[in-house]
Structure 1
């Protein structure tokens, strides 16, 4: 046996099963089972062990497995470090994206607040108009009121004035809502059209015969004229109310009212025409009815009720004027365009604030995740060598114990003193 120093001490010189607890019980159980199978299969005997110049073949197999496990320890730790680096990089990218989104949402929120401030300033200007205290033009919301000339007033701790109007001159806020919703507005308009249709039917049926085509023509004229008499003033009121909308043509200041001139003429003509139709004596089959005694025509319904023709004409004109006036008021009874814009601006501010608050929480969570990822990465980098040494030491210790357990199980399973002595000498070979 050579006396040259071994590059690595024999495992049995440092490990004893009674001195350390098993580091890998599954590995110990595997090598003991392998030792018993080797004895039962007569793989080793006294002569084969004596003839070996190196360690046992299974011992060399365990050495190769040991080297592979050590390499796996290095690879696993390197993979863990790489994964932590990737997680930290992903967290950095998420934080960068979240910060950009937060800046964009902050900008949107500030723009919405600025637009709300501008709309409120315009509404304050409209409110001051009603009190005859308005300036020549709407104020710039970015310009604060100028102080009076003279010495600076002493600070009182009160709120700073930032509006060109006194509190009683400002808009009273959105306390008014339109009296009609879209559904109610449509229902009222349909009802007004239904009021006008019998009047128009009596007029146009007088000019047509009894054929199907003439009846259809009568209804076409009745419906179309009733729609015009109701929708024209409603559209005029709607356009006149929205004449202050940004981008609206200047002609909208007078055009909606001008549209009512032909409508008024149409009212007068249709009302008087309906009165004249009512004043016609009853003529069934085109023949006037006469009294069989006096042979005089029967009186008209207006004559029977002692109503003058002028009163009947005014009655129908007033009825048509009332239906059209209601339609005009419904079109006019809407919020001012600035009020609508103010409500929309408030909604945009609310939505922008909700999005900003929600993303603030997400941004805080992203920063917390970034801090956690970098903390884990820094801890891994600081303790990488220690962890690697610990795992490699654990692997060497586990395989040292496995080799010792293999020898012990081999001698116990054999039960021969000569084999035991030979195994002991083999265990001490370098």
Structure 2
């Protein structure tokens, strides 16, 4: 049992960390200095950083090399996202990279034909193009099998109609991976997945949201109104949409949350410096037991969450079908990030509620308990895998 990254992965992580500190220190989404533009988002600067990340091999990290990616496994991908989260104050940018890579590119890798992979992946890996995954709807969030977006087969194409919301990267996306119902009411086999170019007639994107956190990640509604998509733009077979979605969520729930490990590490290190320098009653506040114990608790949460996440990543890399490890990792990291953010704010006193790393971490962490399946849904998933819902668990010997 080895808890250290192998030397090659550790070296790559350090390289990405240096790159992020040098090149990706763009808008952090602080409430006082948010970039100009709709939703407080600067599309030009986002594209600039995205292209740099593409040249570094980050936005195509887990895509095989023959399609333009870096060919990393889940453990190395988690290390890359952890480095992004630590090196850049803009956790939203790392979140956008993860949504592009795990929810959009990996479905093409795992379900696309050779022609589809060669046609779409190289530009998506280089940073030339950006992808968005359209699944959530106003009436279908956690209940992802009951989508109202329809895809009707007509001759050699499909016509898509519906509305998606909370779509990460939508304002800047060139390619949309869209989940739609080809057999309404068909349950697990009623959904299908399509890859749709941004310029396709009938596809429109709303204005960027103004969000509490992750402001560096552009998010918007997507509307499909008589959008004609050729049949060869379908990923996998008709009815395979739920399998596509489930596969992408295993990647996302494991590797995406590594960005929060990095962000927590960055804020924790800054907190240790702060309590060592800030003096009250003639002594650094880090010498007060109430303060030092809180810092220890922050460290405990981070290290425990990190172990769970890399355990899940190792299982994903090894082809494990375990449903429990990714769910536990998502739960542990998201809850730890919120509490570490709260602690970091508290230890800074009044400074904690001003623009800075502590309050930004807290705001960025709040959505982590909701996206990629709410934490309540993750607990349902774990309970189901343990046999606690619908049937009795088997006796343990």
Query: Shorter-chain TM-score: what band?
Result: under 0.3
Structure with the bigger percentage of helix: 1
With a CA cutoff of 8 Å and minimum separation of 6, indicate the structure with the bigger relative contact order.
Answer: 1
Scaled by the length of structure 2, what TM-score is found?
0.21
Between structure 1 and structure 2, the one with the greater Rg is 1
Structure with the bigger percentage of strand: 2
